[in-house]
Amino acid sequence: MKRTSGRVIVNIDRLVLYGVRYEDRYAVAQGLQQQLTQLFSQPGVAHRVGKADSIPRLRVGQVRTGTKVRPQEIGFAAANGIAKGLNR
């Protein structure tokens, strides 16, 4: 994670998805990106997250998957887990 001129740049090198269909990977990634953008655009969050510097690994924990869960919702939940992990 890198902070430049009031912006936070998040690089996710690897996203491991167990229990997600291969065909759904792009929808999951899209949901993740949308929710992270939403979360990091809230007042004060970018500044607080920017102070975190580099985080080599962040385990989000379990995210609910299943036949009734849309792939994009899985991305939303993963993003929420990332935000929660950054606030520790």
List per-residue pLDDT tens for the chain, 88 residues long.
554 456 667 778 888 888 888 999 999 999 999 999 998 888 777 666 666 666 777 777 788 777 788 999 999 999 988 888 777 6
| Per-residue pLDDT, 26 | 93
Sole residue written with tokens 């998957």: 65
Determine the Cα–Cα distance for residues 25 and 66; give it in Å rounded to an integer.
Answer: 14
Q: Which of 47, 43, 51 is nearest to 7 (CA)?
A: 47
pLDDT of residue 70: 92
pTM: 0.75
Please write down the HEC assignment for all residues of the chain.
CEEECCEEECCCCCCCCCCCCHHHHHHHHHHHHHHHHHHHCCCCHHHHHHCCCCCCCCCCCCCCCCCCCCHHHHHHHHHHHHHHHHCC
pLDDT at 73: 93
What was the pLDDT predicted at 48? 67
